[in-house]
Amino acid sequence: MKVRPVVSPLARRDFEAHALFIVQDNLEAALRFQDAVEAVFERLAEQPRLGRLRTFLSTHLADLRSFVIPGFESYVIFYRLVGDRVQVVRLLHGAQDIDRILGR
């Protein structure tokens, strides 16, 4: 069953910030990053339970899943299933304080 991906404003902002950081050093890598992120969105729409169910202390994060972006393994998409949608919550770099950011 294919579901519809919905990207939150925060996740869009995360994506733009990461792409701008990458493009400073390498335009081709930034374009590959964009393609890789879009491919993950499509893949999650086709297989929404593909990502790993995460464990957080906060109960509002209980159903959050994560999926590493192939080719950019330091970047992780956090999402949840909401009805017939994949709701992309954040797109974070592994060096970021993920628990603090998601706990807001």
pTM above 0.85, yes or no: yes
Q: How far apart are CA 38 and CA 97, in angstroms?
A: 24
Helix 9-23 to helix 27-46 angle (10° resolution) is: 150
Number of domains in the chain: 1
Instruction: Tell me the mean pLDDT in the region 65-85.
Output: 94
Which residues form the domain of 83?
4-102
Q: Is 66 exposed, middle or buried (0-12, 13-18, 19+ CB in 10 A)?
A: middle
Residue 33's pLDDT is: 98
Average pLDDT over residues 47-74: 87
Assess contact for 32 and 25: CB atoms under 8 A: no
Question: CATH number of the domain that 21 lies in?
Answer: 3.30.2310.20
